Amino acid sequence: MIAGIVLARHATLATRKLVYFEDLSVGMTETLSKTIASSDVVGFAQLTGDRNPIHLSEHFAAKTQFGKRIAHGLYTAGLISAVLGTRLPGPGAVYISQTLNFRAPVKIGDRVDVTVTVAELIPERQRARLACSCKVGEEIVLDGEAWVKVPSAAKSKRPLPRL
């Protein structure tokens, strides 16, 4: 557990520190769980300047359709980035694109379970398409897919950094 984030590793990745394109296979999965704290939302608002009161004011949020404060959608999406940059594919991977479908709000205190799964590999371009989803309980609150470029062991001149 790292700063309130729980990472679960797919069995084939548990013993590996570095993941190169050649190590990937369709179906590989990583998960992360994070309980959203008020301080997370306040910190995100400070970093981005998005001070929408639906995220910061209980009084304001109580009068909305959600009834209470909700986390920024991009904060939830950022949890996907945490998996991509540290676990699957991990260090050295470069984000190419991300689609996001916001399906339901994430409220303060919700536990978000993020799952990233390798859906497709394009060896000639060292690209991986990853299916991404975030759930609160059994409800999907966000889903989409990411494309990343993954370093190749065959083409690498030096090892990737260790976490």
Task: Over range 82-107, report the average pLDDT.
Answer: 95
Q: Residues 80, 95: contact at Cβ < 8 Å?
A: no
Report if residue 161 sits inside a domain: no
Q: Residues 140, 104: contact at Cβ < 8 Å?
A: yes
Q: What is the pLDDT of residues 27-78, one digit of tens each?
A: 999 999 999 999 999 999 999 999 999 999 999 999 999 999 999 999 999 9
CA 121 to chain centre: 19
Report if residue 72 sits inside a domain: yes
Report if residue 105 sits inside a domain: yes
Task: Over range 73-102, report the average pLDDT.
Answer: 95
Q: Residues 41, 69: contact at Cβ < 8 Å?
A: yes
Task: Over range 130-148, report the average pLDDT.
Answer: 98
Report if residue 65 sits inside a domain: yes
Report if residue 115 sits inside a domain: yes
Distance CA(7)–CA(119), nearest Å, equals 20
Domain that holds residue 100: 5-149
Distance CA(154)–CA(162), nearest Å, equals 18
Report if residue 117 sits inside a domain: yes
What is the CATH number for 11? 3.10.129.10
pTM here is 0.84
Cβ burial, residue 21 (10 Å; 0-12/13-18/19+): buried
Residues 6+ apart with CB under 8 A from 129: 118, 119, 120, 121, 122, 145, 146, 147
Distance CA(60)–CA(53), nearest Å, equals 6
How many structural domains compose the chain?
1
How high is the pLDDT of residue 154?
Answer: 82
Report if residue 156 sits inside a domain: no
Q: Residues 40, 75: contact at Cβ < 8 Å?
A: yes
Q: Residues 78, 95: contact at Cβ < 8 Å?
A: no
Report if residue 32 sits inside a domain: yes
